[in-house]
Amino acid sequence: MTHLTPLPVIEDIPPGNIFSQKESALISDFQDALEAIDQTLTCSPYLVSSQFSAADICVGDHLYGCALWPELDAIIQTFPRIISYMKRLKEMPSAIQANVFSYET
């Protein structure tokens, strides 16, 4: 698997077999987390219930942070429900007023 830059968590590991193993494990864990979020979003527009909660703040912030890395954003883009979820969070009046998620991915 070739990336433009090392994933931020493993950038201090020199290239080689251990780097590749760590990178593969991190990508697999990230995909598993996205699949869990995606599955949750099949039942509700938000993570805990049909209403926005602190869980959405925490997860949404992390999703937007991960989307800043092209390698991780490419994985996020394969989950249409998560993309819609991120858009819902970004378009919330409170998010607009607080100017959160104002950076472009």
104 lies in a domain? no
Q: What is the pTM of this model?
A: 0.78
pLDDT digits (tens, 9 = 90+) for 60-104: 999 999 998 888 999 999 999 999 999 999 998 988 888 877 665
Is residue 3 one of the residues assigned to a domain?
Answer: no
Tokens of 35: 């699949």
Evaluate whether residue 71 is within a structural domain. Answer: yes
- Kindly report the CATH number assigned to the domain that includes residue 65: 1.20.1050.10
Residue 55 has pLDDT above 70, yes or no: yes
Overall average pLDDT of the 34-54 stretch: 93
**Domain count for the chain:** 1
Q: Is residue 65 part of a domain?
A: yes
Domain around 54: 16-98
Q: Please give the Cα distance from 39 to 71 (Å, whole number).
A: 22
Give residue 40's Cα distance to chain centre.
Answer: 14
Q: Does residue 103 lie in a domain region? A: no
